[in-house]
């Protein structure tokens, strides 16, 4: 029987991507819930080995219907659970954990500055905006993902400094073109408005199924890999878009069919602060 401390073997996927491309890449993850955890899992299995994890929450019984971790982990910090999983899957890793709200954290800005990419996996818009602001200031790429009400679909957006728009650009463009996909714009029903997830968490409404959430998380991983591989000679094609709206299922007036996807490359918007040092602006 093999020694249980051997490193993760990548032979079966090396023809698709070379994990050595990621040997020194540092990823910061914000949020280790039902989306952030599987996103982190898959990046570990594709060779990411240096991690900084942020989430102040513990795993509770109501999380088990969506969260992929085990009942034995109930009551433990999500960052500690994920660190244990990462180290079990690949002992050749470096993992720092912060049981902190990034908006109050004394450590988060430094984590962003030393990262090669930030994954924003929070269900709060305010956190996504904050993460975007910090990444723009530090000129660090990020990928954010959010799931629409009841899991009908979701939105994945990636930022590359000096090449694409930031999260604020996305909001500006959406408002200008009447493409606002917030819960309010999508029109919550009275029943959905009454279903508030967790204890007094009024920003997370009418959550979807685990499969709905993980579909969006997997696209987030694909975009993250594409950004990380953009300067390599790897044969795997990189994404041409940085904004993907994906339908898990049809919804009247929103999505016509299962698995409908819309993509675009959003450039920096002239009126956004991220263009201060950027000369390739949107016309």
In a domain, residue 33? The reply is yes
Under 8 Å between Cβ of 173 and 283: no
DSSP-derived 3-state class of residue 211: helix
In a domain, residue 151? The reply is yes
10-residue mean pLDDT profile of the chain (283 residues): values are 66 88 95 98 97 98 96 98 97 97 97 98 94 97 94 96 94 82 54 47 65 97 95 79 96 91 94 67 32
Domains identified in the chain, total number: 1
CATH number at residue 252: 3.40.50.720
In a domain, residue 224? The reply is yes
278 vs 6: CA distance, rounded Å: 45
22 vs 116: CA distance, rounded Å: 10
b/e per residue 195-222 (b: at least 16 CB within 10 A): eeeeeeeeebbbbbbbebbbbbbbbbbb
Query: pTM for this structure?
Result: 0.88
In a domain, residue 280? The reply is no
In a domain, residue 57? The reply is yes
Give the chain's length. 283
Tell which residue, 11, 10, 7, 42, has the closest CA to residue 27.
42
Rg (CA), the chain: 19
Q: Tokens 């000129």 sit at which residue?
A: 139
In a domain, residue 8? The reply is no
198 vs 62: CA distance, rounded Å: 8
Which residues share a beta bridge with 53?
Answer: 29, 97
Domain of 113 in residue numbering reads as 19-275
Which residues share a beta bridge with 205?
Answer: 196
Q: Tokens 């994920």 sit at which residue?
A: 82
DSSP-derived 3-state class of residue 26: strand
In a domain, residue 267? The reply is yes
In a domain, residue 14? The reply is no
Three-state secondary structure of 65-122? CCCCCCHHHCCCEHHHHHHHHHHHHCCCCEEEEECCCCCCCCCHHHHHHCCCEEEECC
Which residues share a beta bridge with 95?
Answer: 51
């Amino acid at each position: 029987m093999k020694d249980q401390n051997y490193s993760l073997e990548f032979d079966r996927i090396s023809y698709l991507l070379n994990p050595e491309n990621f040997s020194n890449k540092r990823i910061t993850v914000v949020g280790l819930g039902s989306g952030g955890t599987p996103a982190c899992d898959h990046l570990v299995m594709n060779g990411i080995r240096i991690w900084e994890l942020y989430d102040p929450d513990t795993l509770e019984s109501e999380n088990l219907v969506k969260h992929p971790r085990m009942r034995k982990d109930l009551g433990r910090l999500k960052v500690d659970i994920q660190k244990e999983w990462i180290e079990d899957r690949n002992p050749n890793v470096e993992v720092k954990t912060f049981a902190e709200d990034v908006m109050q954290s004394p450590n988060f800005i430094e984590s962003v500055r030393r990262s090669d990419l930030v994954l924003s996996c929070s269900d709060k818009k305010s956190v996504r905006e904050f993460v975007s602001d910090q990444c723009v200031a530090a000129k660090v790429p990020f990928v954010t993902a959010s799931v629409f009400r009841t899991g009908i679909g979701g939105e994945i957006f990636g930022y590359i400094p000096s090449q694409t728009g930031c999260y604020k650009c996305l909001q500006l463009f959406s408002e200008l073109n009447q493409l606002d996909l917030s819960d309010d714009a999508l029109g919550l029903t009275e029943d959905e408005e009454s279903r508030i997830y967790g204890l007094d968490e009024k920003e997370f409404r009418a959550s979807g199924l685990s499969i709905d959430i993980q579909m969006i998380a997997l696209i987030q991983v694909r975009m993250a890999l594409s950004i990380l591989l953009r300067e390599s000679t790897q044969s795997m094609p990189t994404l041409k878009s940085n904004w993907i709206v994906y339908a898990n299922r049809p919804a009247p007036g929103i999505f016509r069919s299962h698995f409908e996807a819309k993509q675009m490359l959003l450039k920096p918007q002239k009126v956004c602060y991220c263009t201060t040092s950027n000369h390739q602006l949107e016309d």
